[in-house]
Amino acid sequence: MTQASVWAQAATELEHCFATHPTLAQFSAFPTDLRPQNTMARGLPARDLLTADQALSHGSSSSLRDAVLALAPVAHWLDHYRDSEIGDDFLNRFGCFCLVGDQGGFASDQLRAWLVYMPPHLHYPWHHHPAEELYLVLAGKAEFLRAGQDPQWLTVGDTVFHAPNQPHAMTTGTDPVLCLVFWRDQFETGPQLTAQEA
Ligand SMILES: [Fe+2]
pLDDT tens digits for 171-184?
999 999 999 999 99
Q: What's the pLDDT band for 198 if we cut at 50, 70, 90?
A: very low
Range with the poorest average pLDDT among 154-163, 177-186, 188-197: 188-197
Residue 3 has pLDDT above 70, yes or no: yes
Report d(CA 198, CA 181) in Å as an integer.
Answer: 21
Cα dihedral: 172, 130, 161, 119 (round 10): -20
- List Cβ neighbours of 20 (8 Å cut-off, separation of 6 or more): none
Q: What average pLDDT does range 16-26 have in this prediction?
A: 96
Q: Which domain holds residue 84?
A: 3-184
Instruction: Share the mean pLDDT of the chain.
Output: 96
Query: In angstroms, what is the span from residue 132 Cα to ligand 1's centroid?
Result: 8
Domain membership flag for residue 90: yes
Domain membership flag for residue 194: no
Domain membership flag for residue 35: yes
- Give the H or E element holding residue 120: none
Number of domains in the chain: 1
What per-residue confidence (pLDDT) applies to 59?
A: 81
Query: In angstroms, what is the span from residue 12 Cα to ligand 1's centroid?
Result: 24
Q: Which residues surround ligand 1, an ion (CB under 5 A)?
A: 133
Indicate the length of the chain as a whole number.
Answer: 198
Mark 1-20 as b/e (b = at least 16 C-beta within 10 Å).
eeeeebbbbbbebbeebbee
CB–CB of 135/144 below 8 Å? yes
Q: What average pLDDT does range 108-134 have in this prediction?
A: 98
Q: What's the pLDDT band for 1 if we cut at 50, 70, 90?
A: confident
Query: In angstroms, what is the span from residue 61 Cα to ligand 1's centroid?
Result: 27
Domain membership flag for residue 72: yes
Report d(CA 71, CA 76) in Å as an integer.
Answer: 9
Domain membership flag for residue 198: no
User: The domain spanning residue 154 has which CATH number?
Assistant: 2.60.120.10
Query: In angstroms, what is the span from residue 44 Cα to ligand 1's centroid?
Result: 21
Query: In angstroms, what is the span from residue 2 Cα to ligand 1's centroid?
Result: 31
Query: In angstroms, what is the span from residue 1 Cα to ligand 1's centroid?
Result: 32
Domain membership flag for residue 191: no
Nearest residue to 131 via CA among 145, 155, 114, 143: 114
Domain membership flag for residue 134: yes
Mark 166-185 as b/e (b = at least 16 C-beta within 10 Å).
bbbbbbbeebbbbbbbbbbe
Query: In angstroms, what is the span from residue 7 Cα to ligand 1's centroid?
Result: 23
Task: Give the type of residue at 160.
Answer: V
Domain membership flag for residue 23: yes
